[in-house]
Amino acid sequence: MLRPVSEETVDVLIIGAGASGAAIAWSLAETRMRIVCLEQGDWMKPEDYPSTRIGWELERFGAFGLSPNGRGRREDYPVNDAASPIRISNFNAVGGSTILYAAHFPRFHPSDFRVRTLDGLADDWPIDYATLEPFYGVNARMMGVAGLAGDPAYPPKEPPLPPVPLGKLGETVARGFNALGWHWWPSDSAIATRDYEGRAGCINLGPCLMGCAQGAKGSTDVTYWPPAIRAGVELRTHCRVREITVDAAGMADGVIYHDADGRERRQKAEIVILACNGVGTPRLLLNSASKHFPDGLANSSGLVGRNLMFHPYAHLLGVFPEPLEGYKGPTGCGIVSQEFYETDLSRGFARGYSYELTRGIGPVGTALLAMSKGRMPWGDAHHDAYAEVWDRTAGMVAICEDLPEAHNTVTLDPELVDADGIPAPRIDYTLSENSRRMLDHAVARGCEVLEAAGAKESYADAPLGVAGWHLMGTARMGTDPATSVVNEWGRCHDVKNLFVVDGSVFVTCAAVNPTNTIQALALHVGDRIKKNLANLFD
Amino acid sequence: MDETSYTDAERAALAAVLDTLLPRSRDGRLPGAGELGLGAEIERDVPQLAPMVKAALARLDDDAGAGGFAGLDPAGRTEALRVHAEGDPGLLPGLLFQVYTRYYVAPAVLEALDLEPRPPWPKGYAMDPTDLDTLLEPVRAGPKRYRDA
């Protein structure tokens, strides 16, 4: 017997309080509709973040690890990613994966929406850069984007906050790019570089990837959620949705979820919006199979869970002769290079990649990283070897565009379940030949730039196994119901009161961090819902 | 006594092993891992490591003769540990992970690295501004980098 919270049917039910769920909740709040968001995690407490403790680096191996499989939190769900060289890195809380993200906040390029037209690959999006441009602007204000206007790699844009400091490390690497005549620019970052909209300005703590104790990083628990809640949106935590239910006509009519005590409850709704990321959304759609939808909800195309895209990463590390103060400053934000972004087939691959500066390696990380590279001896030689690398390493990642391939999938694991007994996702993914060639190119050119910057030696790791941060493509957007799951404004072709607003809807994934585009899309969908309320289900 | 508890002799041998892995630095600024008391932390925090470590300590003591491993001089300890590790390949990676993750958060070590022994928050770190106009000059002078679409 299901226990309803109430008999009330809410107007809008949003599943997931992360990047996209928060954005669309805020967008729709002005309608004064009754909006409820169900989130399987809880509010995070900034005082609990590792940077408040001297042993902050160690928590990467525990409660603030990248993989949900290793954290041991009830709020997370397990993922069987044994059949993938890239493992899932997500987080479940109010704010979702923005709690642990780097807040590197680039936009897509105009060409990223026209991959088929320009490069004869994959598909074009049913929308273009101009469609999202106004929502990128709104999102920049809401998330608090720091950056610098004038980047020749982009159409004009005006970040509202000044860029994050480059520091010695960033300046050193930037001079390497200059020496080669290559593009670089200060990163667009969702980091409040001064006090902004109630958030304290960044004080260069370093460990952004384990939550921001200062509250300067733009995670949605400190950006979109406070104004959305003030505007009347109800956010319920510790509510894990088991399935979306449908009525006799095949329209979504609500969800069944588990509350904090694991009890099953029901919430009815007129509109259901999925905001669960590129793994959680197909998982829930597949878990919502029914008489009307035997292959999973909204899956007449057979594409729910297919075309999973990551961004294959290469990690590069240079060892320099002088201290770089690399433990100071935002971990993943500093400078970006898009020298190799647009397609040039003479490089041996299609599409391209970005370089991003990385820093924030503390004393423990320095030792472990050097040990993994075989250059951290024990015994009498240890201290001299350590002195050669401590505060003398600069990191970069290359973030490569992945192309959609139907055989890269999210399905339901036949055995693995979460703490509420709900079938967990299974990932099957292989790295394409195009991605391998791109990674090889990125490693070779990346070592070149580090050496041009003065590195004595450099190391590379590709693909980076822990880098399954960006989960995209598994409920793709399009105008043809036979080849896509949702339409050009996120509405499921098969279920006209069911929307998807997370990275699942990506047609292609560009070569930049996706959160800014995910949120711009959520705002775009919210805008279309508001404009079409009178005939939303036609 | 269960298999995760150490005897006093084992504790002394473990301290000697840790001081061999990370000895006091030549200038004396950095302490040895054993003298820093990391053995007690490993005993307390990582009981699952105890069977492997205790077996290794017993073997090292046996091989060292009457004075045991702790009775060897530094060069003798290093050689004994090196020889042992060849036949026990899991020991050092597991032990070094535990040692590094404790040693490099110890206040005495952080101070020796010229770091304040404190968490990053709430004080944070000051960073000097960059002259971006000068540094970006060649990039601004370059061509448009994106394709119209």
State the ipTM, two decimals.
0.96
A421-467 residue pLDDT tens: 999 999 999 999 999 999 999 999 999 999 999 999 999 999 999 99
Contact B23 A380 (CB under 8 A): yes
Supply the pLDDT for residue B2: 72
- What residues in A contact B115, CB-CB < 8 Å? 327, 363
Contact A56 B120 (CB under 8 A): yes
As a whole number of angstroms, the distance between CA A320 and CA A327 comes to 14
Contact A17, A96 (CB under 8 A): yes
Among candidate residues A501, A502, A487, the one with its CA nearest the CA of residue A536? A487
Q: Is residue A14 in some structural domain?
A: yes
Among candidate residues B114, B86, B118, B108, the one with its CA nearest the CA of residue B22? B108
As a whole number of angstroms, the distance between CA A88 and CA A110 comes to 28
Q: Is residue A365 in some structural domain?
A: no
Mutate to test the interface with B, among A52, A114, A164, A382 (most CBs of B within 10 A): A382
- Number of domains making up chain A: 1
- What residues in B contact A338, CB-CB < 8 Å? 145
Locate the chain B residue with the closest alpha carbon to A110: B149
Instruction: Report yes or no: A236 at the B interface, CB cutoff 8 Å.
Output: no
- What residues in A contact B140, CB-CB < 8 Å? 150, 152
Among candidate residues A228, A134, A72, the one with its CA nearest the CA of residue A520? A134
Instruction: Report yes or no: B108 at the A interface, CB cutoff 8 Å.
Output: no
Locate the chain B residue with the closest alpha carbon to A372: B93
Supply the pLDDT for residue A360: 84
B55-86 residue pLDDT tens: 999 999 999 988 899 999 999 999 999 999 99
Supply the pLDDT for residue A184: 98
Supply the pLDDT for residue B67: 87
Q: Tokens 């103060």 appear where? A: A325
Q: Is residue A385 in some structural domain?
A: no
Q: Which regions of A42-142 does DSSP assign to beta strands (E)?
A: 80-83
Q: Is residue A373 in some structural domain?
A: no
Angstroms from A150 CA to nearest CA on chain B: 8
- What residues in B contact A114, CB-CB < 8 Å? 149
Supply the pLDDT for residue B3: 79
Taking the whole predicted model, whether its pTM rises above 0.80 is answered as yes
Angstroms from A32 CA to nearest CA on chain B: 37
Instruction: Report yes or no: A263 at the B interface, CB cutoff 8 Å.
Output: no
Supply the pLDDT for residue A309: 98
pLDDT class for B4, splitting at 50, 70, 90?
confident
Locate the chain B residue with the closest alpha carbon to A46: B121
Instruction: Report yes or no: B67 at the A interface, CB cutoff 8 Å.
Output: no
Locate the chain B residue with the closest alpha carbon to A390: B113
- What residues in A contact B110, CB-CB < 8 Å? 54, 363
Contact A171, A335 (CB under 8 A): no
Contact B121 A51 (CB under 8 A): yes
Supply the pLDDT for residue A4: 59
Burial class for B75, CB neighbours closer than 10 Å (0-12, 13-18, 19+): exposed
E strand or H helix at A240: strand A240-246
Instruction: Report yes or no: A238 at the B interface, CB cutoff 8 Å.
Output: no
Mutate to test the interface with A, among B29, B77, B100, B131 (most CBs of A within 10 A): B100
pLDDT 10s per residue in chain A (538 long)? 556 556 799 999 999 999 999 999 999 999 999 999 999 999 999 999 999 999 999 999 999 999 999 998 999 999 999 999 999 999 999 999 999 999 999 999 999 999 999 999 999 999 999 999 999 999 999 999 999 999 999 999 999 999 999 999 999 999 999 999 999 999 999 999 999 999 999 999 999 999 999 999 999 999 999 999 999 999 999 999 999 999 999 999 999 999 999 999 999 999 999 999 999 999 999 999 999 999 999 999 999 999 999 999 999 999 999 999 999 999 999 999 999 999 999 999 999 999 999 998 999 999 999 999 899 999 999 999 999 999 999 999 999 999 999 999 999 999 999 999 999 999 999 999 999 999 999 999 999 999 999 999 999 999 999 999 999 999 999 999 999 999 999 999 999 999 999 999 999 999 999 999 999 999 999 999 999 999 999 8
Q: Tokens 């407490």 appear where? A: A45
Supply the pLDDT for residue A29: 98
Contact A329 B149 (CB under 8 A): no
Among candidate residues A236, A263, A166, A271, the one with its CA nearest the CA of residue A500? A271
Q: What is the CATH number of the domain that holds A294?
A: 3.50.50.60
Instruction: Report yes or no: A185 at the B interface, CB cutoff 8 Å.
Output: yes
Contact A171 B135 (CB under 8 A): yes
Instruction: Report yes or no: A114 at the B interface, CB cutoff 8 Å.
Output: yes
Supply the pLDDT for residue A44: 98
Angstroms from A167 CA to nearest CA on chain B: 6
DSSP string, A244-286: EEE-TTS-EEEEEEE-TTS-EEEEEEEEEEE-SHHHHHHHHHH
Range of the domain at A48: 3-360+392-533
- pLDDT above 70: percentage of residues in chain B: 99
Of A52, A54, A110, the CB nearest to B149: A110
Angle at A352 between CA A349 and CA A356, to 5 degrees: 140
Of A52, A114, A341, the CB nearest to B121: A52
Of A54, A111, A206, the CB nearest to B147: A111
Contact A214 B122 (CB under 8 A): yes
Per-residue H/E/C for A326-355: CCCCCCCCCEEECCCCCCCHHHCCCCCEEE
As a whole number of angstroms, the distance between CA A168 and CA A525 comes to 42
Q: Is residue A35 in some structural domain?
A: yes
A64-79 residue pLDDT tens: 999 999 998 999 999 9
Rounded (10°) CA dihedral A175, A192, A195, A231? 160
Contact B145 A338 (CB under 8 A): yes
Mutate to test the interface with B, among A49, A54, A169, A331 (most CBs of B within 10 A): A54
Rounded (10°) CA dihedral A74, A80, A86, A90? -20
Q: Is residue A386 in some structural domain?
A: no
- What residues in A contact B23, CB-CB < 8 Å? 379-380, 382
Contact A382 B136 (CB under 8 A): no
Angstroms from B52 CA to nearest CA on chain A: 19
Q: Is residue A366 in some structural domain?
A: no
Number of Cβ pairs < 8 A linking chain A and chain B: 161
Q: Quick check: B1 pLDDT over 70?
A: no
- Residues in CB range of A359: below 8 A, 6 or more apart: A167, A169, A170, A206, A324, A326, A327, A328, A329, A330, A331, A334, A394, A395
Supply the pLDDT for residue A6: 60
Contact A186 B139 (CB under 8 A): no
Of B26, B120, B146, the CB nearest to A153: B146
As a whole number of angstroms, the distance between CA A110 and CA B148 comes to 6
As a whole number of angstroms, the distance between CA A15 and CA A240 comes to 9
Helix, strand, or coil here: A399?
strand
As a whole number of angstroms, the distance between CA A72 and CA A51 comes to 20
- What residues in A contact B132, CB-CB < 8 Å? 148, 163, 166, 186
